[in-house]
Amino acid sequence: MTEHRVLGRTGLKVSPLCLGAMMFGAWGEPSVEESTRIIGRALDAGINFIDTADVYSGGQSEEFVGHALAKSGRRDEVVLATKVHGVMGEGPNQRGNSRRWIFQAVENSLRRLGTDWIDLYQIHRPDPDTHIEETLGALTDLVRQGKIRYLGSSTFPAHQLVESHWAADRRGLERFVCEQPPYSLLVRGVEADVLPVVQSYGMGAIVWSPLAGGWLTGAYREGAEPPRSRRADRLPERYDLSLPGNRRKLEAVEALAILAEEAGLTLIQLALAFTLRHPAVTSAIIGPRTMEHLVSQLAAADVKLTDDVLDRIDEIVPPGVTLNEGDRGWRPPALTDPRLRRRPA
């Protein structure tokens, strides 16, 4: 893996595959030694980009990543990304995107990661209770303090990305240099608006779940018993085969598996290469739990899909279509809270 791509307009060069660390810790691989071995193998393969979050395994993922980088002595080689927003305690201010919490959370992440700076600090989800200027102001101060180098967003709708840039321009604040949206062969909704906005504003896109949470690994096939996993238990709306959206995903996977075989590829290679072909995408995040998972995904960075294959994909899952709404990663409060759609009687 020799190719590097520039993250937006930053000049920062990252590998097309980003090592996602969500599965290191209690949510996946509980051994720090095995996690360290997997991280070391990824670095040896040419990956220079690691993404985690404070909320992953309650901070354990950050600790495992920090341990691996300290043991390898390769911190300076790595573009290290983490995130803030998720619930990290019982208190009402131990979550969200407020200045108070961001300042506390970044210190916690720096300690767990064992580093003096974070290359990319991302807001994990929008926070309807916090104005974007509050969030960008806090992040700007952290950049000026040298604790973070760049700031990004994750799973923001297109209009909130635009609003963030307007706010940055108005106030002279640092801007989001990248967005991290869900994107895969089965989750193509961001092609309609988020990815065009990313391109328009010169941002990078670091896409999460390019294997659709395991759906595009070959483990989910018609007539086969679906695998059990903690993720499926945690997010049944994305895996319950009795739901129409998941049945549509299963049908699409069958057709995509046939296409991959005809193209001489594994389904994993087809899926990862598809996301990397989009001109807005800088990197695709892979999230291996085992060494075998990692090895099966590494070769995809060198796969180039032909236009004929891409046309076939468009026939199976049309551009801009997300087969199951539960895969979007975030639903705006206007859809989840009926009170926001109804005037008082």
Q: Which of 56, 121, 150, 183 is catalytic?
A: 56
- Annotate the chain with three-state secondary structure: CCCCEECCCCCCEECCEEEECCCECCCCECCHHHHHHHHHHHHHCCCCEEECCCCHHHHHHHHHHHHHHHHHCCHHHCEEEEEECCCCCCCCCCCCCCHHHHHHHHHHHHHHHCCCCEEEEEECCCCCCCCHHHHHHHHHHHHHHCCEEEEEEECCCHHHHHHHHHHHHHHCCCCEEEEECECCCCECHHHCCHHHHHHHCCCEEEEECCCHHHCCCCCCCCCCCCCCCHHHHHCHHHCCCCCHHHHHHHHHHHHHHHHHHHCCCCHHHHHHHHHHHCCCEEEEEECCCCHHHHHHHHHHHHCCCCHHHHHHHHHHCCCCCECCHHHHCCCCHHHHCHHHHCCCC
Catalytic: 56?
yes
Question: Residues with catalytic annotation?
Answer: 56
